[in-house]
Amino acid sequence: MNKQHVLILLCSGVFSVITGSTSTDEFTKQDLKLWQDEYMSAVKKGREVFTDPKLGTNGVVCAQCHPNGSNTHPETYPKFQKQFGQITQMWEMVN
Ligand code: HEC
């Protein structure tokens, strides 16, 4: 890299900082916040469904037997379940 290349790089960097411009393939802080808020709202909803006995019909919650999601192995589905004798989706195992 010669001096001219370094100067061009520096100028474009300074220009980006001054104008606040980003290219279309970059995430802005606003994008990140939107994504995190959406993600955390799904986490909150999931936690409620997993722990709130008022949302079910029999007063039993998943967390009674699976504290903090223990022994649910969601990443292993779909998989063969011996007791059903077939490949099973996770929702079928939950039911
Ligand atoms: C009364 C206790 C109890 C409750 C309440 C309960 N589970 Fe389970 N769960 C078990 C047991 C025991 C197993 C293992 C069953 C088996 O392997 O045949 C299991 C297995 C599972 C599995 C399969 C795990 C694997 O190894 O692949 C999932 C997923 C799961 N439960 C999710 C849930 C969810 C979601 C809820 C709430 C809707 C829930 N469970 C409520 C006792 C419970």
Structure confidence at residue 24 as a pLDDT band (50, 70, 90):
confident
Return all residues near 48 (Cβ < 8 A) that are at least 6 apart.
55
Q: Is 90 in the pocket of ligand 1 (CB under 6 A)?
A: yes
Q: Is the CB of 64 under 6 A from ligand 1?
A: yes
Alpha carbon nearest to ligand 1 atom 12, residue: 65
Q: What is the mean pLDDT of the chain?
A: 86
Name the token pair of 74: 């969601």
Query: What b/e string do you get for 67-86 counting C-beta neighbours within 10 Å, with b at 16 or more?
Result: eeeeebeeeebeeeeeeeee
Residue 73 has pLDDT above 70, yes or no: yes
**pLDDT number for residue 20:** 63
Look at residue 94 in the predicted model and tell me its pLDDT: 87
Please compute the mean of the pLDDT values over residues 32-55 and round it to a whole number.
96
